[in-house]
Amino acid sequence: MKKLALAVLIAFVAVAFSPWDRPNSFAQVQQKKVEKFGEDKRIKEWANKKFETSNKTFNWRMSDPWSGGNFHDMAMHFADTVRACSGGRLNIKVFPTGAIVPAMEIFEATSKGTLDAFHSWPGYWKGRAEAFVAFASVPFGLDFEGYNIWYYERGGKEMFDELYGRFGLVALLLRQRWPGARAALQQESHKLDDFKGMKIRTPGWYMDIMTLMGVSVTPLPVGEIYLALERGVIDALEFSSPAANIPYGFHEVTKYVIEPGVHQPSCSSTWSSTREVGRAP
């Protein structure tokens, strides 16, 4: 697991800081064959392929860790889109958080077949493999454009597929978005020392960074954050962006927001299944 995490970090550094094999002269540009950017090599494979279709339908059960909010709406939209694109052949019913298994048990439930799929943020599975965080949010890492280049053009997807495949899962990268807010706080903060001794909700590698700074950190599921803030169990939270916070009412129990989200220059979410959509049993 650590070797894959290291390989992912090396790939990030290569994309962010390498000279991209810049030639020293125009003659070298002419001699070097440059691969067409964004070319989908599967097109050649599909050119003479014969596709077989049927009228058989499939009904899948899916859940998420969001406890409502606009991320749950995204999961619902995804399920509706799949149903429309499949002509009604693949029906995905999205169950509320906790209806079948608790929020942080959806990974294992899908791996074992209790659920057919889940929508989530890969960083929640840090305890299973550190490399999952590289496909979620990397503090001080690539922005969403750089991330997409790494993922689609520099080997990120192959690492992604191999990592989820270890657990019998097939995953799709659904989206890559802008930075999140760094934190929503109950007390004003202006310097790093202000965080020492604070109790903050955040997951992933930013959790490790904050711990080294003397912060007490907990990766609470989003459905438990409001009550924890209200009761003083935590002093601050980091969860996505202000737009994602509002549906949960976090603005009611915090007074300040810190920007920019250095912990999350870009952020992805995934849809994971025990089998490939294209080969549903």
Domain shared by 249 and 114, yes or no: no
Total number of domains in the chain: 2
Largest CA distance in the chain: 68
Q: In what order do the strands lie in the sheet with 170-177?
A: 90-94, 58-63, 117-120, 267-273, 170-177
Full residue range of the structural domain in which residue 112 is found:
58-177+267-279
Domain shared by 165 and 215, yes or no: no
Average pLDDT, the chain: 79
Percentage of the chain with pLDDT > 70?
76
Give the pLDDT score at 278.
42
Alpha helices in the chain (DSSP H): 2-17, 26-31, 42-46, 69-85, 106-112, 144-153, 156-165, 204-212, 225-230, 242-245
The CATH number given to whatever domain includes residue 231 is: 3.40.190.10
Let me know if residue 48 belongs to a domain.
Answer: no
> DSSP labels for 86-103?
TTTSEEEEEPPTTSSS-G
The residue ranking higher by pLDDT, 222 or 93, is 93
One-letter amino acid for residue 51 of the chain: F
Domain shared by 112 and 168, yes or no: yes
Q: Is the pTM of this model over 0.75?
A: no
pLDDT band at 210, cuts 50/70/90? confident
